[in-house]
Chain A
Amino acid sequence: GAGVSQSPSNKVTEKGKDVELRCDPISGHTALYWYRQRLGQGLEFLIYFQGNSAPDKSGLPSDRFSAERTGESVSTLTIQRTQQEDSAVYLCASSLGQGGGYEQYFGPGTRLTVT
């Protein structure tokens, strides 16, 4: 079946521009996570959505970062006024969440380069 998909796969943007990254989770997965993976670093938690509950935004590094999710489907991560330190791979994962299993299924990531 279809896994987690992310778009675009690569994004090059100029410093100061806004970018929007998209994640399509596995159908039926109520939980959705965004992570950032910098070169040589581990996965850095950004934000978690579970159903219609208020998201856990505790990992967002600054107010330039925001994310939305429509119900239990698509999520978008927006980075405003991008900086060079935002360059990283942004990974999305989904899981069955509450009442189900917790294995996180990851998408292939969006590789963001800020020039």
Chain B
Amino acid sequence: QKEVEQDPGPLSVPEGAIVSLNCTYSNSAFQYFMWYRQYSRKGPELLMYTYSSGNKEDGRFTAQVDKSSKYISLFIRDSQPSDSATYLCAMSSGGVWGSGGYQKVTFGTGTKLQVIP
């Protein structure tokens, strides 16, 4: 079993739809949860990160973490064609975000999203 499981998709939605992307994980030591967006033939870029359980909102994006279920989600409201990309979840157990220490990050396989105009 992989440490992080993510449905590869592809997921195709009409413009304006609410998108839900999810990952499950098995390592209970994970404390830091991240979502990266990767456009075709580009490197991933960090969208959001959260620490421990709870929700975090940034514009049209909301990240949710449920540590009891080992399940994380990314919601995209009012999806736009420019949101079409692969979304990778990522997790880490070590270090403290923004301070010293080494964060080794485990990535999901990514979900390919297509938003159709």
A-B contacts at CB below 8 angstroms, number:
56
For residue A52, CB closer than 8 A to chain B, the reply is: no
Decide: A106 and B45 in contact? CB cutoff 8 A. Answer: yes
A105 to B105 Cα, complex, angstroms: 13
Which residues of B have CB within 8 Å of A35? 107
Residues of B contacting A: mostly = loop
> What is the total number of residues of chain A having a CB less than 8 Å from a CB of chain B?
25
A14 to B42 Cα, complex, angstroms: 25
Shortest Cβ distance from A82 into chain B, in angstroms? 22
Which residues of B have CB within 8 Å of A104? 46, 105
A101 to B100 Cα, complex, angstroms: 8
Decide: A42 and B102 in contact? CB cutoff 8 A. Answer: no
> What is the total number of residues of chain B having a CB less than 8 Å from a CB of chain A?
27
Which residues of A have CB within 8 Å of B109? 40-42
Shortest Cβ distance from A91 into chain B, in angstroms? 6
Return the chain A residue nearest B104 by Cβ.
Answer: A45
Shortest Cβ distance from A101 into chain B, in angstroms? 5
Decide: B108 and A42 in contact? CB cutoff 8 A. Answer: yes
Q: Which of A98, A105, A107, A109 contacts B100 (CB 8 A)?
A: A98
A77 to B45 Cα, complex, angstroms: 22
